[in-house]
Structure 1
């Protein structure tokens, strides 16, 4: 089980380390942690969902067995987007477990936990880990083979109604939208919603095998495919999500994929929100755009964004939205427009930013490219080095942060370091303005690099240099 760890959003690791007893043990630990916090009278029911990767059904069976062992009634929501599962569980004030590895490769998977109040906190993670250690050390150890049936629930329908009830029926009328389906658990939902709101949806590239679409570090083959579709078709936009449907991908009519923070800014503007909570990996355009009255920066990961939104609400902030550089958007405040209400949903969601942005394209009569240009968001880029062990990433980042001579020498080919931020990884601003930020992924053995520069060409050049320079240090 060496690969299993809590990252930026849930427990992740290699399938071989997660299937069988570990899935059972961690789910049992989670439910014991939930029960320890109950004050009495809480319904002992737990919701489950899964993505479409090959290992998810087997892991689900172990999780359901753990629910029965813990004395909970299991409810199977099937293959649904993570935010759909969260919405169903929050409605019933019940815990939930999503079996998903999100965007990481098919040889990995994970468990994402929701308490009765919503997505778990970092303190909850520590509590679950402690419960797991006790369970693993018990004699005899609980048996993962215990089975049990689960009731079914149509969480997808309620999630769809959330959006058809908020957006007007012709919100997307006249728009032609390509839907890159691959193995996203939201692939049919997106087609249905675009159609229900008056648009024309064209399904593209549905896959029977899992495709690891990362909305923050795009695969070259996906970028090329989207550009080819844009060149060959008459699409106003091409949309998709990652594997579990909590992170969006949106490309304009020319096939240019929008950055996640730009998509978040457009959604903030479309919904008239005023407070943005976002990690340090989002670009400085968050502040320079002037869209929000208040901006709060956090570490990377939805638990930190959720904590930041709660803190902002406690200080009296209104119109709160959180989003990440990967595009996942968390709605911290209810939105009311034209007598239609959209309740808060403080967990990562891909559907709201897609629909809100497309609806603004239609209402403004301006192409997506034009809306992005209005933001004057500058140029940013991001990618990652894969198969970099956490220890190597940590050693590199620690040296960058603590050894000034090493740092100055490392960045010398790119410029002179003017300032450093070590809130999450190492983020430097160079004397002539560009930004370079390195951090280790919390979900996979990857070292990520984020850059900002004055032009698209300069950002691409700086990103290529950053990846090559970092690779020489961590693999050299």
Structure 2
């Protein structure tokens, strides 16, 4: 069998795989062994420019295609004389945390919340997520590697899973969730074997819900009507205090109150940051303005959507504040600084994490209902949804016209009675109306989808904006 010498930049240029808001994403059929090899070779070369290492770590989600992609990554790393530690199926933040403790790079094979016919790769430097400039360097790297003809089986190392569980169970010396009954909607989440351990060690009774070997693409920013009804039914039937779940790779949380009502991710992030007494925040422009209205933080910086942009803002916050963090509308909490909880040091984890906000907020609600904590926040409600299979170019054209004449776009969307008071083009087009309600359109960075976000003082109004906009935009 003859191996062919390949050049990473040439392979990637014709692969059909692109970087999105967080990682490289594409169709499974485009993630061939040699495309995975190209990303791996280029990533290692870029990392070697500023870091010294002889090992990389790999983990995967439960998608049918993920294991073979990991094997291709491992095969390429070995070609380049880099050892591989394979952690199997674990949450993305568990992989990132374990690799950071060893000061080595890592690659997570996951498509997060997108459908199973797609997949992706997330890359981490020894100190956290790669930057947007790192992405450019990876795509342009002319690293040579050999075509991959044989994929070997990988042996699973359990240490990262154990370390992740310990990170959160050691935060509390007592059992702060004693008396609480928590349902875990397991579906196909990468962390489904770990979450019961954590909540049980914190004192909770755990009930596992709807585990499946079929991959479920849960989007925590656009929860399906079916999953909303499931949570309500589970809470009523099982008398649950909360339900916890995540997206496919366990970096975006989904948590319900005692009534089975899912919390919006940015509300969960706000409650977590408040409970941790975080001084300063970096959050995407799409997040709820209740963050500023709460007056709980010395500074709130708004960024483009995507964890790399939030993390990039941490360097500025670090010059002014001792504790800083970020979160996204999808609920992923990004701990930018070390913090102390109950006199226990918890190290920073500059990547999205689903488990930290869930634990912290449930502990904060240990003496009251979770819904009570939410009601104490400023009365601002957000809603969001998306149109699937909506060409990115078409989304961009609609938004470009809206930037030129936002009032005209608003009228075309059916809101002739409303006036635009100001716009924000940080990421897409975010229109604030004269009544302080918000409509925000943005192409997804991960898939051909058009997302709509809305904010109002009433849930029905926020949902109404999203429904009307997505109903009208297809005819523009």
TM-score (norm 2): 0.94
CA distance 1:102–1:272, shift in 2 (3 Å): same
Aligned-CA RMSD value: 1.5
Report the equivalent of 2:80.
70
1:62-461 pair list within 5 angstroms: 62-131=72-141, 134-135=142-143, 142-145=146-149, 147=151, 152-153=156-157, 154-313=159-318, 315-362=319-366, 365-404=367-406, 406-411=408-413, 412-413=415-416, 415-461=418-464
Q: Is the 8 A contact 2:406 2:431 kept in 1?
A: no
The CA distance in 1 between the partners of 2:357 and 2:347, in whole Å, is: 15
Per-residue deviation, 1:451: 0.3
CA distance 1:235–1:149, shift in 2 (3 Å): closer
Q: Is the 8 A contact 1:62 1:145 kept in 2?
A: no
More moved, 328-337 vs 280-289: 328-337
The CA distance in 2 between the partners of 1:158 and 1:338, in whole Å, is: 19
CA distance 1:251–1:302, shift in 2 (3 Å): same
Q: Does 1:56 align with 2:69?
A: no
Report the equivalent of 2:9.
none
Give structure 2 stretches of 5+ with no counterpart.
1-13
Q: Is the 8 A contact 1:74 1:151 kept in 2?
A: no
The CA distance in 1 between the partners of 2:105 and 2:347, in whole Å, is: 19
Report the equivalent of 1:13.
26
Per-residue deviation, 1:339: 2.3
Encode CA deviations 1:236-282: one digit per residue, 9 max, x unaligned. 10110100000000101111110111000110111111111100010
SS at match of 2:176: coil
The CA distance in 2 between the partners of 1:119 and 1:350, in whole Å, is: 16
CA distance 1:93–1:445, shift in 2 (3 Å): same
Per-residue deviation, 1:352: 0.2
Q: Does 1:465 align with 2:468?
A: yes
Q: Does 1:47 align with 2:49?
A: no
The CA distance in 1 between the partners of 2:410 and 2:207, in whole Å, is: 50
SS at match of 1:316: coil
Encode CA deviations 1:362-385: one digit per residue, 9 max, x unaligned. 1xx110000000112421101111
Count residues with an aligned counterpart: 461
The CA distance in 2 between the partners of 1:293 and 1:405, in whole Å, is: 34
Encode CA deviations 1:312-364: one digit per residue, 9 max, x unaligned. 11x322220110000000011111133211111111000000100111111xx
Q: Is the 8 A contact 2:428 2:443 kept in 1?
A: yes
The CA distance in 2 between the partners of 1:83 and 1:195, in whole Å, is: 20
SS at match of 1:472: coil
CA distance 1:162–1:209, shift in 2 (3 Å): same
The CA distance in 2 between the partners of 1:169 and 1:259, in whole Å, is: 29
Per-residue deviation, 1:198: 0.5
Q: Is the 8 A contact 2:71 2:154 kept in 1?
A: no
SS at match of 1:297: strand
The CA distance in 1 between the partners of 2:251 and 2:455, in whole Å, is: 25
Q: Is the 8 A contact 2:452 2:466 kept in 1?
A: yes
TM-score (norm 1): 0.94
Give structure 1 stretches of 5+ with no counterpart.
none
Per-residue deviation, 1:151: 6.1
The CA distance in 1 between the partners of 2:232 and 2:239, in whole Å, is: 12
Q: Is the 8 A contact 1:262 1:377 kept in 2?
A: no
Per-residue deviation, 1:192: 1.0
Per-residue deviation, 1:95: 0.6
